[in-house]
Structures are given as structure tokens and as C-alpha cells.
Amino acid sequence: MNTVVNSPLLLEVPDIDHKHARPLPASCHPEFDIHCVFTRERSIDSFEKTMQEMSKRVVLGSMVVAGVVALAALADLVMGVPFSGSSHTRVMDIIFIICSAIVIYLSWTVLKEMS
């Protein structure tokens, strides 16, 4: 008489297909070797961590670019240095400063959410 025992170790492991996940070694079979399952999960976790770091870098980069644009527009309003400083560019300078402030605020909010 054969009895089947339902054990978590006997369950079939779904094959997770991610583009950047490390491939399993040829000698590793996820249904029989528990080490292979942990190796695959660890590679997926490291991929997610890398993507989070990249997202933070992109947000910080947009924050820096918005700050540089705001400084250039402010310098043009005050001294007329980077651009002409004429009355034609004053409206654009004010719009650049407002938009830069919005981007910096949104970036700051996203960084707080990510932490």
C-alpha cells in the first residue's frame, strides 16, 4: 500500500523566468535540489535590489538636473549671465524655476517613499 505524503519539500517549484536572473547550473534541478531553489531566489533578490538602486539614481539625477536648470534660470533673472536676460526670457525663466521646483518636490517625495 503506497501512501503519498504532502510535504512542502515535495511540491513542484515553479520555474521563474526573469531576463536578468542567473541561470541554474547544468547539474542543478530545482525539483530535487533545494539549494537550487535558494540560489535562484537569491539571484532574483539581488536583481530587485539592483533595480531599486538604479531607480534611486534616476530620481537623484532628475533632482540634480532640475536644480541646475533652476540655478541657471535664477542667474539669468538676476544677472542675465547664461542667456540674454532680456524681457523676452524673463517669463521663460520664471516658468523654468516653477517647473524645477515641482520636479524637485516630486523627486523628494519619491525618495521618501522608496526609503
Element (H, E) at 92: helix 87-114
Element (H, E) at 3: none
How many whole angstroms separate alpha carbon 1 and alpha carbon 74? Answer: 85
Any domain includes 18: no
| Residue 54, domain extent | 23-114
Across 28-32, 52-56, 79-83, 101-105, the highest mean pLDDT is recorded for 101-105
* Overall domain count for the chain: 1
For residues 96 and 10, which has the higher predicted lDDT (pLDDT)?
96
Sequence letter at residue 47 = F
Any domain includes 49: yes
Any domain includes 101: yes
Average pLDDT over residues 70-99: 89
DSSP H helices in 2-86:
34-78
Q: What is the pLDDT of residues 9-42, one digit of tens each?
A: 444 445 554 555 555 555 555 555 555 554 555 5
Any domain includes 98: yes
Q: What phi, psi does 27 have (nearest 5°)?
A: -85, 0
Any domain includes 82: yes
Any domain includes 4: no
Count of CA atoms in the C-beta half-sphere (13 A) of 14:
3
Three cell numbers at 101?
Answer: 521646483
Any domain includes 17: no
Angle at 32 (CA atoms; ends 30, 36), nearest 5 degrees? 35
Any domain includes 15: no
Average pLDDT over residues 37-54: 69
